[in-house]
Amino acid sequence: MSLHAPEFFAELRLPFPSGTTVGSTYYATPIAGAPLRLQIGFTDTQYRNAYGGLRLSVIHIDRGTIDAVALSFAEHGTFRRRQGALHQRNMPDTFNITLARPGQPAWEGADFRGLRDAIEQYTAVWFPGAWTASAPRRAAGRTAHKAPVPPAACSGGRAR
């Protein structure tokens, strides 16, 4: 059974135009022309075909890895919403590719917000401005509207 890494990283909606997935690892050059690269891979667990989080590495093109951090799915609430007898019994804070339902990704039911926020914070340290410069602008939703401006406060005298 396949890990489907490109689909997983697509679900994270990382904003780097140069980002690509090779095998089970995501690579990006968040700041064009800079010597630093971002590499994101999966962290293994003690169980075969099960992954407990992501490992982010900053790689210098001449010096190699200069920093790395592991982000666990458990600490970032990635699978908190995902419930069911299968996942409660078998490592609830991981995804195991052998337990995926047919036609569904192994991370079915995942909430990527906490993980994505942590990746954004980490990349802000090593690649300042790259996330906001690369992030696609959100379109206003159909229910969005401008709130009315409250009336200006009275500037003179006391109220009775």
Q: Check pLDDT > 50 for residue 142.
A: no
Residue 16 exposure: Cα atoms within 13 Å on the Cβ side: 27
Q: Give 84-103 as a DSSP string.
A: SHHHHHS-TTSEEGGGPPTT
Q: Using an 8 Å Cβ cutoff, are 40 and 65 in contact? A: no
Q: Is-contact 23 30, C-beta < 8 A?
A: no
Instruction: Decide if pLDDT at 47 tops 90.
Output: no
What would the 3-class secondary structure string for 136-155 be? CCCCCCCCCCCCCCCCCCCC
What distance in Å separates the CA atoms of residue 49 and residue 70, rounded to the nearest whole number?
18
Structure confidence by residue, pLDDT tens digits, 56-78: 999 999 999 999 999 998 888 88
3-state secondary structure of 81: coil
- How far is Cα 121 from Cα 2, in angstroms, rounded to an integer? 30
Query: Confidence class of residue 81 from pLDDT cuts 50, 70 and 90?
Result: low
At residue 148, what is the residue type? P
Average pLDDT over residues 108-131: 90
Q: What is the pLDDT of residue 51?
A: 84
* Local confidence band at 120 (pLDDT 50, 70, 90 cut-offs): very high
Q: What's the pTM?
A: 0.75
